[in-house]
Amino acid sequence: MSGVLGTSVKRVDGRLKVTGAARYAAEFPLADMAYGALIESTIAKGRATHIDVQAAQDAPGVLGIITHHDAPKLHSVRMFPFGPAGQTLVPLQDTVIHYAGQHLGIVIADTPERAIHAASLVRVHYREETPLTTLKDELARGTTPPELPPTFNHIFGGSGRGNLAEGLAQAEVTIDQTYSTPSNHHNPMEPAATIAVWDGDQLTLYDSTQWIFGVRNTIATMLGLPQENVRVISPFVGGGFGCKCFTWDHVVLAALAARRVGKPVKLVLSREQMYTSVGYRPETVQHVTLGATRDGLLTAIAHEGISQTSEFAEYITPVGVLTGMMYACPNLITKHRMMPVNAGTPTQMRAPGEAPGMFALESAMDELAYALDIDPVELRLRNYANADPQSGRPWSSKALAECYRVGAERFGWEKRNASPRSMRDGDELVGWGMATAAYPVYLSPAAAIAKLFANGDALVQSGTHEIGTGTYTVMTQISADALGLPLEKVRFELGDTNLPKTPVTGAARTVGSVGAAVQAAASALRSQLIQMALADTASPLYGYSEEQIAVEDGYLSLAQDPSRREAYTDILARHGLEVVEAYREVLPQDANETDRERVFSGVNALRGPVTSKFAMYSFGAHFVEVRVDPRSGRVRIARFVGAFDAGRILNPQSARSQLVGGIVFGVGMALMEETLTDPHLGRIVTANLADYHVPVQADIPEIETLFVGAPDFHANPLGTKSVGELGIVGAAAAIANAVYHATGRRIRDLPITLDKLL
């Protein structure tokens, strides 16, 4: 073996990125390119009675315009969690307006500037109706969201056990509070973009996506094409965080435009359009009730959440998805409801239910700790779950107690004065807070192919994605380790539907799912080469068994006598072969052929099958210090320490990067990020990075991440667990808890802005 797994290998695609050679969706240089610009609704509810395109048609360089008047019939596609479409609303099929920013057409011109200008000349006449604007506005008006059927609620993490009323009756101390989180937007560095190219009835899409096979299958269905007629290419994605998991309207509009004008069409969303076209984290209102005895043992937990959805789709944010497994409490209930408003359909955003849900639960746990006068870490340890309290299954692995211990020790938690407003540094109030992190281990079927060439170089291929997380690098490490080759002799290819099938790159599943397939294919190729040598009388290894063979640096050798060895290149040369290859598909534990077909046909849910033998989660503990200016209410993060149990860490550098990125997301969620909608017009008024505030370098201190725990081979053959989504879960709660400790003000409505502290 090469020994590259578990080391901080630098990014193999780093040079491509820093030199500009890494090609993103909008950067493929195609001849005779045309450009698209969207026509969007400026009202949030009503009908488009007339779309006047004459001035746009007469504008210089315009090649075509498509609206509902002349758009072809498109087929609907199922939406999350049953399919790969971003929303069920099919564009350009009628005149009904459901939200501001809804796509009403596309203008195609010979330059992007001319397309945008012509789109601005289109005049849409409306019959306007009064929109339902936001979740909180509707609740304030007395609108009651409907109860969901129990089976539907259960799909989205609704659960229960014991008798809640009895648990509350046994409680000596009760916390009963409402917490809320605003709508948030993803804001990846690369906006969504598509280039569509037709060659007869064959369609190629260069797309910025986290799921090439989902795009292929969605567009094929919408256009009535066989899946094999659509190819999706996406070698690099400039961030997604969930908004590129599914297929949105602009992709099919680019395809329609390219077919209309008979040439490639590039459509790149503006930053403003990213706020209305590719989903968002919806607003939530959560009611949490905790009951406990005086010695801190939980007797009851109730967690009910309401989240907003569009008026044409049922999208739930499952804020209680972790509540049922987090603490050893005998009586519990979680429920979810949704409120339709005139906005686009929400979508996944980094830890979609877990991040807002754990803000509420972990804030309530902190309130309970103060009510009981028990240290927040100690309270969590007293309610530590040694098995999944909801299912009764044992954990595949769990080192959460070690996360608490190591994180608290590194942070210096024992020096904390528990009283609010008791710690100062000069004029600043100092607050220390903590919270728990957890995220499920999701796995899906995946496939890969490994090839070894006569010159000793290897190529490993799988149709997964590089969304900035380091997939090229870690898959190269896995391949090199399994093949016993130096890292520089291995090349990994991804991002093309012509490659072996893989699931969506979402829910932190890529390393565990695709990595397992890559390891299986590379291991099978290695075994095939060993068997060729053992059966070859000309080989110095002839007649030995595979168990006696060591593999390193492209050589096979006898473990007990390393002088008996030969190179891979010698084996291929003697057999007259230019290439040897092996293909493997890998299913998660307890998955079956139905699960495989659901993924490989592109209609699987984002959340894949979970083994019936074990409950599989990653865990962590956040510790944070804030400084608050009592005169201005300004909150500054001074220190952040996170300790994480994420199984085997294949590349500590990239894993740390993912955890730090998640924590930065948590800082934004806690202190600044908020999508604001005009309550009368239903338009987003913070649709840019000047008004929608995200953390910048000056907002973030040095973040220390610590890895604890051990490889989890119950989860997958690599021993890995979830990393990508883990860092954000609980981070906002830790900050809110620190702000309370500093100021004595409990902010239950994110973000924590200075007006709420003054």
- Say what the pLDDT of residue 159 is: 83
Task: Please provide the size of the chain in residues.
Answer: 758
- Other CB atoms within a 10 A radius of the CB of residue 667 amount to 25
Q: In terms of Cα–Cα distance, which of 264, 195, 258, 200 is closest to 229?
A: 200
In angstroms, rounded to a whole number, what is the distance separating the alpha carbons of residues 145 and 36? Answer: 39
With tokens 């009910």, the residue in question is 304
Question: If you compute the radius of gyration of the chain from its CA atoms, what whole number of angstroms results?
Answer: 27
Per DSSP, what are the bridge partners of residue 233?
A: 206, 496
In angstroms, rounded to a whole number, what is the distance separating the alpha carbons of residues 717 and 509? Answer: 14
Long-range own/partner contacts, residues 636-641 (CB < 8 A, 24 or more apart): 636/699, 637/667, 637/671, 637/699, 637/700, 637/701, 637/735, 638/430, 638/701, 639/411, 639/701, 639/702, 640/701, 640/702, 640/703, 640/704, 641/407, 641/410, 641/411, 641/703, 641/704, 641/706
Q: In terms of Cα–Cα distance, which of 619, 607, 399 is closest to 508?
A: 607
Q: Which two tokens stand for residue 359?
A: 């803000």
In the Cβ-directed half-sphere of 314, how many Cα atoms lie within 13 Å? 14
Task: Give every strand in the sheet of 458-461, ordered side by side.
Answer: 490-493, 458-461, 446-453, 579-586
Q: Which amino acid would we find at residue 46?
A: G
CA dihedral 106, 109, 112, 114 (to 10 degrees): -100
Q: Look up the CATH number of domain 443-600.
A: 3.30.365.10
Q: Do domains 32-130+189-239+244-277 and 150-184+280-441+611-757 have the same CATH topology?
A: yes
In angstroms, rounded to a whole number, what is the distance separating the alpha carbons of residues 147 and 165? Answer: 20
Given 138, 190, 283, 725, which residue is catalytic?
A: 725
Q: Which amino acid would we find at residue 597?
A: E
Q: Which amino acid would we find at residue 282?
A: P
Could you list the mean pLDDT of each consecutive 10-residue stretch along the chain, which spans 758 residues?
84 96 98 98 98 98 98 89 83 98 98 98 98 92 82 71 98 98 98 98 98 96 97 98 97 98 98 98 98 98 97 93 97 95 96 97 99 98 97 96 98 98 97 98 94 98 97 98 97 98 94 97 98 97 96 96 96 97 87 60 46 89 98 97 98 97 98 97 97 97 97 95 97 98 98 96
- Other CB atoms within a 10 A radius of the CB of residue 160 amount to 17
C-alpha separations of 184 from 412, 433, 594, 679 in Å: 33, 23, 35, 17
- Say what the pLDDT of residue 350 is: 96
725 is catalytic: yes
- Say what the pLDDT of residue 153 is: 66
In angstroms, rounded to a whole number, what is the distance separating the alpha carbons of residues 240 and 724? Answer: 12
C-alpha separations of 418 from 290, 365, 406, 626 in Å: 21, 15, 20, 14
In angstroms, rounded to a whole number, what is the distance separating the alpha carbons of residues 756 and 751? Answer: 9
CA dihedral 558, 561, 562, 563 (to 10 degrees): -110
With tokens 């987003």, the residue in question is 684
The domain 150-184+280-441+611-757 having CATH identifier 2.30.30.30: the answer here is no
- Say what the pLDDT of residue 587 is: 84
Q: Given phi > 0 = left and psi -120 to 50 = alpha, else beta, which region is 304?
A: beta
Domain range annotation of the chain = 32-130+189-239+244-277, 150-184+280-441+611-757, 443-600
- Say what the pLDDT of residue 725 is: 97
Q: Look up the CATH number of domain 32-130+189-239+244-277.
A: 3.30.365.10
With tokens 């949704």, the residue in question is 338
Span between the terminal Cα atoms of the chain, in Å: 60
Q: In terms of Cα–Cα distance, which of 161, 611, 610, 613 is closest to 390?
A: 161
CA dihedral 661, 628, 352, 585 (to 10 degrees): 20
Q: Which two tokens stand for residue 187?
A: 């804001």
Which residues are CB-contacts of 265 (< 8 A; sequence separation ≥ 6)?
Answer: 33, 34, 35, 36, 108, 195, 196, 254, 257, 258
CA atoms 362, 367, 372, 378: torsion sign:
positive
> pTM for this one?
0.96
